[in-house]
Structure 1
Amino acid sequence: MNQQVTTRVGVNRKADKEKFRSRPWAATLILVGGLILLALGMAVSVSFGAADIKWSVVWAAIIHFNPELTDHQIIRELRLPRVLGGAMVGASFAVAGAIMQGMTRNPLADSGLMGINSGAGFALALCFAFFPNLSFMYLILYAFVGAGAGAGIVYGIGSMAQGGLSPARLVLAGAAFSALLSALSEGVALYFHIGQDLAFWYAGGVAGTKWFQLKIMFPWIGGAMMGAIALSRSITMLSLGEDIAKGLGQRTGLVKLAGALIVLILAGSSVAVVGAVGFIGLIIPHLTRYLVGVDYRWIIPCSAVLGSLLVVFADLGARMVNPPYETPVGAIVALIGVPFFLYLARKERREL
C-alpha cells in the first residue's frame, strides 16, 4: 500500500514538473517559423482582393512607388496599412489576454469578456455623438478611459458576489456588463443617427485602417509591448500564485498596476482602430502555453506572433467567403472563439 502511495506521489510530482517546464526550443521555432509565415501571409493578403495584383507589382509598389499607377495606389494606400494594422491589432489583443490570464490566474480572461472592449466601444459611441470632429489621437485616449472604466466596473461587480471573486463570476459579470454597454451604444447610435459610423466598430474589421492611424497607434502599442516583455518574468511568478510571488520578493501590487495599464493601452488602442474583435486574447495565450510552457518570457512574444497570424489570415479568409463582398473579421474569429470558450468553460466546471 505504501509503495503504491509513493509511486502515485512520484507520478504526480513528475506531472507537475512537466506542467511547469518551459520549452525554449518550441518558442524559438514559433518565433522564427511564425514570422516567416506571417511575412508570406501579409504578402498574399496585399496581393489578393477585388483586384488581384501580382507579387512583382506589390514589390515594385513598396520599393519604387509610382503614384500615377492605380495598382501602386491600391497597395500603398489601402492594402499595406490594412495588413499592418491587422498584424498589430492581433498581437495587441493576444498579449493583453496573456497578461490578464497570467495576473488573474483566470483561464477565461480576455479583453472582450472582461468589459474592456465594450467599455472602449461605448466611449467611442459617446465621442461620435457629442464630439464628431474629434481627432484620432483623442479617440484613442477616450478609448483608454472607457476600457479602464469597463474593466473596473466588471471587477467591482464580480467582487460584490458572496464568496468573493472567481473566474466564473468574473466572466458572468463581464458578459452581462458588456451586453449592457453594447445596448447603450446602440441606443446612442439610434438617437444621434450615427449608426453607420458605429457599424464598423460593431462588426470589427481592418478594412478602413489608414496610415495616420498606424502612426498614432504604433508608439502606444510599441511601448506597451516593450513594457509587457520587461514585466514578463514578474507575470510568470504571479501566475504561480500571489503568495509565491511575494515570497520571491515581487511587489505584486505594482506588477498588477503596470500589467493593467499595459492591457488597457493594448486593448484600447486596438478597439479604436478595428472595433471590438473578441476571443483573440482567449484563444492565443492558451495555445501558446500549450506549446511553450508557462514562462511568460516566451509566452508574450510568441502570443504576439500567433495573434498577428490569426488576424492576418482571418482577414484574408473574410475576403474569400463571399467575394467581392467582405465578411467582418470579428465574425471569422468568433467562429473559432465561441467553441473554444465553451470548451474552456466546460473544462473549468469539471475541475471545480
Structure 2
Amino acid sequence: MTCAPTEASPELGPAPALEDADYFHVSNMLSPEEQQRLKVMRDVLTQEIRPHVAEFWTKDEFPHHLLKKLGQHGFGAIETEPGSRLFKGLVYAELARADLSLSTLVGIHNELIVGALLEAGSAEQQDRWIPRLKTFDAVGSFALTEPDHGSDIAKGLCTTATKEGDEWVLNGFKRWIGGATFADFLIVFARDTADHEVKGFIVETDRPGVHARKIEHKMALRIIPNADITLENVRIPAENALTGAANFSAANILLRNSRAWVGWEAAGAQMAIYDVVHHYATSRHQFGRPLAEFQLVQQPIAKILGNVTASLAMMAQLARLQEAGGLEMSHAALVKASTTALARESAQLGRGLLGGNGILADREMGKIFADVEAIYTYEGTYEVNSLIVGRAVTGASAFI
C-alpha cells in the first residue's frame, strides 16, 4: 500500500482569533473602541508578522523591514498614545503571540526606552528622541546588566561615570543588551565616582569608545540580537544625563513596569501555544481519527487553556492596579514569576503533544518552546522574583 504524505507542508494556516484562547473573554472588558483597535493590531500581527518570523528565527537574523512595519501600525507608540492599561497589556500579549523575539524588542522599546525618557528625561531629550522612537525611525537599547552582575545589579554595578567639566566619561562593560548592535543610542546605567550613586545616561552608539559585539550561539529569542558592550573612555555632554535618574530608584521603577510587561508576554506566548496545539490536534489524524478525539490529547489542551486563562486573569487584575496607581514591585514580581512558570509548563505540554513536529521552528512550537525559556529567566529569574514576593509578604528579606 502506497500512501501520499499529508504533511509535506509545515504551514499551520491562520491562527484562531483571540476569543478562542481568551476563554473568559478578558478582552470584552475593553471599550468598544479599544476592542476594535486591538482587532486591527491583531490582524496586522497575524497576517503580516507571524507567518514570516520562523525564517528569521532559524537564520538568527533580525528582520528590519518587519520592525518598520510595526512602527507604521503604532507598535512603537504603545506607551505614548491614549489607552487603558488593559488595552496596552493585551497589545503586548498579541505581540508575544506573534513572536517572542519581536515582542521583547517592542516591549523594551516602550517600557524601558520610551519609559525612561518619559519618567526621567529632560524636555529636550524627550523632544529629540520620542517622535522618532514612536515610528521606529530611531531605536534605543537599555544597558543595565553587566557580565558579572545581573540579579545583584543594584549593589554590584561596576560601570563608572566620572564628571569632568561639562562632560561625563563612562567606562565599563554591559552584557545581554538587546538590539544594541543596531541601536541609535543606549540608556546606560553607571555608578558616579563622586557620590557612588547609580545614574542614567544617554549614550549615542556612534561615539568614540562605544563597542557592541553580538552574542553568538543563542538558542532562544534568536531574532533579537543581544550584545556585549564595551565603554572605553566614552565622553558625553552633561546634558545627556537623565535628570530624573540620579539614583537606582529610577531604574527600579522601570524594572517594576517591565516585569509587569513580561507577564503579558507570558500570557501571549501561551495563547500562541494554544493556537498551535488546537490547530494541530483538530487537523492531524492518527489511527483513523483526529488527535483531538483522544483523551490523552484533550487533557494537555485543557491544561494549557487553564494556564492561559489563569495568566490573563492575573494580568487583567494587575492592569487595574496599574491604572489606579497601586502597582508595587511585589505585584510585578509575582505576575512575572507565576505567568512565566505557567508558560514554561504550557510550552512543555505543547511541545510533547506535537511529537517530532514539536521541535520544528516552522511549526512554531519548537520556537516558542525555546523562547519561553528565555522569558522565564530574564527581567529577574523565577527565584529572585519569588524572593521579592516573599520579602513583601513576610517582612523578612532572604537576600544576602
Q: In which range does the TM-score fall when normalised by the shorter chain?
A: 0.3 to 0.5
Normalising by the residue count of structure 2, what TM-score does the alignment of the two structures yield? 0.33
Normalising by the residue count of structure 1, what TM-score does the alignment of the two structures yield? 0.37
**Which structure has the highest helix share of the two?**
1
**Which structure has the highest strand share of the two?**
2
